[in-house]
Amino acid sequence: MAAALGASAGLDAESSGPVLAGAGSAILFLGLGLSTRRSAAIPIALLLLGALHVISDGDRSIGTVIYGSCLLLSAELAYWSIDEHGHRPVQSGVFAPRLLAILAVVAAAIPASVLVHVAADIDIPRSQASTAAGATAIVACVALLAAMARRRVSS
């Protein structure tokens, strides 16, 4: 999957050599992380692949929605691969429900991404009220994430 994402980023670029070299390094990094069972390599490799798409394409498109969903699928499968060979044995009967959950998340990500893509193209007149509402929503999201992180660390 990561190889296909890297190749598609290289095909879209004007100068495909550097993009393909970056894709190769991301794939190598991901492969080394999976073979050594180091999950820290996964977000770095996916960040490289995502950056290559943005650099080569440079514009929002429906292809970006599909590319992002494929990055999500790659991440889920990579983490699953590491979980399968971890220190704790995975319970039997987990394969089908986990696969269905991953596919459901990816399937839900595509329409959500399309909605964000369409919303980004809408020209909304800005006002102090809408700016304040947006800032309040951002602060509320950060506060919620911080509370969830604190709860997870304390348990």
Tokens at 22, concatenated: 């970056």
pLDDT of residue 1: 74
Q: What DSSP designation does 125 have?
A: -
What one-character-per-residue DSSP string does 71-119 give?
A: HHHHHHHHHHHHHHTSSSPPPTT-HHHHHHHHHHHHHHHHHHHHHHHHH
Q: Say how far apart CA 33 and CA 27 lie, in whole Å.
A: 10
- Tell me what pLDDT residue 32 has: 92
Domains of the chain, residue spans: 2-123, 128-155
19 contacts 11 by C-beta, under 8 angstroms: no
* Tens-level pLDDT at each residue, the chain (155 residues): 777 777 766 666 666 777 778 888 888 988 998 899 888 899 999 888 888 877 766 666 667 778 888 888 888 888 888 887 766 666 778 888 888 988 898 888 888 888 887 877 777 777 888 888 888 998 998 888 888 887 776 65
Q: Is the alpha carbon torsion for 116, 122, 126, 130 positive or negative?
A: negative
CA distance to 26, 97, 134, 155, per residue, from 76 (Å): 16, 14, 30, 24
Of 37, 32, 28, 40, nearest to 2 (Cα)? 28
| Whether 10 contacts 23, CB under 8 Å | yes
